[in-house]
Amino acid sequence: MAGDDTVAEHESIWSDLQGVAFEQGYLDAGGVRTRYLHAGAADLPTLVLLHGSGGHAEAYVRNLAAHAEHFSTWSIDMLGHGYTGKPGHLLEVAHYVDHLVAVFDAIGAERVCLSGESLGGWVAARAAVDHPDRIERLVLNTAGGSQADPEVMQRIITLSMAAATEPTWATVQARIKWLMADKSKGYDDIVASRQRIYRQPDFADAMRDIMALQDPQIRARNILGPEDYGRITAPTLVLWTSDDPTADVTEGRRIASMIPGARFELMTGCGHWPQYEDAETFDALHLDFLLGGRDV
C-alpha cells in the first residue's frame, strides 16, 4: 500500500549508483580479462577494493561515491570470480596476489591504497608482505587468512557450493544472508546480481577452485602467521564487526596486535559486509584512515 511505512524499502544496486560518475569495464591484467567498477578522477591517488570468497565488485557499490571524491577507486572481480577470467585450477593466495599486481600494472598505479574484505583482506595482507613498495596504506576488513576454523570453513563450502551448483533464489539468498547481521532483509538486488554470476556456464567448477582455501591442507600453507603480519610496513587499519560470522572480535584484535602500529576499529550491528550494511560509518572510518588525518 502506498505510504505504508511497514513495507520494506527496496534496496537496489542501481539506486546506490545513481548520481555516481562511474564506469564498468574490462582490462587485461597479465592476460586475464578482469572486470572492474571505477569511479574518481584518474589523477587522484589510487584505491583498490577487494571482495570476499565467491564475491564480486558489487560488494562496494555503496562506497564508490564517497571514495571517488578522494581516490581513483577501483573495485574489481578478483581472479576466478564474477566475470573475471577463470584459470581452471585451484586458487591459492599467491595466484590472487599475482593477478592483483597485474591489475596495478594495467591501471598504471605504482603505489595504491589497498582495502580487502574477507578473502580480499587475506590477499591484501599477503600483497603488503610480498610487495611493500606497491602498498601505500592497507585496510583489512573482517579479513581471512589468520586461522583455520573447521566449522566456519565447512559452512563456507556448504553454502557456496549449494549456491553455485544450484543457483536458485533460495540458495543464493542463503549465501548472502550469511554475510549479514540483519537477517530480516531480502537483499534482493545483491541476490539477483550474484545469481546471474553463478548461472554462468561452468561456474560450479570455478567455485570448486575458489573453495581450495577452505581445504585444511591447502589453507595451512597459505595461512598468515605472526612473522608474516610482522613484516607489513604499510600503515594498517584492521576493521572488525560485532557480528562477523567467520571470527569474533578477539581474532580481529589479535591480527591488529601482530601488525606494527596497526589501528583497530570495531563496527557494531554489522556482519561480514560492514561496507554495505552500514556504508556511512564504514566510509567515515575508512576515509579517515586512508587520508591520514586530512579533511574527509
What is the pLDDT tens value at each position of the chain, 296 positions in all?
A: 444 454 556 778 998 999 999 999 999 999 999 999 999 999 999 999 999 999 999 999 999 999 999 999 999 999 999 999 999 999 999 999 999 999 999 999 999 999 999 999 999 999 999 999 999 999 999 999 999 999 999 999 999 999 999 999 999 999 999 999 999 999 999 999 999 999 999 999 999 999 999 999 999 999 999 999 999 999 999 999 999 999 999 999 999 999 999 999 999 999 999 999 999 999 999 999 999 855 44
What is the rounded distance in angstroms from the CA atom of residue 234 to the CA atom of residue 56?
25
Position 64 in a domain = yes
Q: Residue 81 sits in a domain of what CATH number?
A: 3.40.50.1820
Tell me the per-residue pLDDT of 243-292, one tens digit each, with 9 for 90 and over: 999 999 999 999 999 999 999 999 999 999 999 999 999 999 999 999 98
Q: Give the other-Cβ count within 10 Å of 123's Cβ.
A: 26
Return all residues near 3 (Cβ < 8 A) that are at least 6 apart.
none
Q: How high is the pLDDT of residue 207? A: 98
Q: How high is the pLDDT of residue 292? A: 87
Position 55 in a domain = yes
Q: How high is the pLDDT of residue 65? A: 97
Position 203 in a domain = no
Residue 133 grid coordinates: 613498495
Position 121 in a domain = yes
Tell me if residue 175 falls in helix, strand or coil.
helix
Range of the domain at 83: 13-149+224-290
Number of domains within the chain:
1
Position 112 in a domain = yes
Element at 204 (helix H, strand E): helix 203-210
Element at 112 (helix H, strand E): strand 112-117
What is the rounded distance in angstroms from the CA atom of residue 148 to the CA atom of residue 66?
34
Q: What is the dihedral of CA 95, 274, 231, 68, to 10 degrees?
A: 80
pTM of the entire structure?
Answer: 0.95
Q: How high is the pLDDT of residue 1? A: 41
Residue 65 grid coordinates: 561515491
Q: How high is the pLDDT of residue 8? A: 59
Tell me if residue 24 falls in helix, strand or coil.
strand
What is the rounded distance in angstroms from the CA atom of residue 73 to the CA atom of residue 114?
10
> Which of 61, 51, 50, 55 has its CA nearest to residue 24?
61
Q: How high is the pLDDT of residue 12? A: 87
Tell me if residue 18 falls in helix, strand or coil.
coil
Position 177 in a domain = no
Q: How high is the pLDDT of residue 179? A: 96
> Which of 46, 37, 35 has its CA nearest to residue 16?
37
Position 239 in a domain = yes
Position 39 in a domain = yes
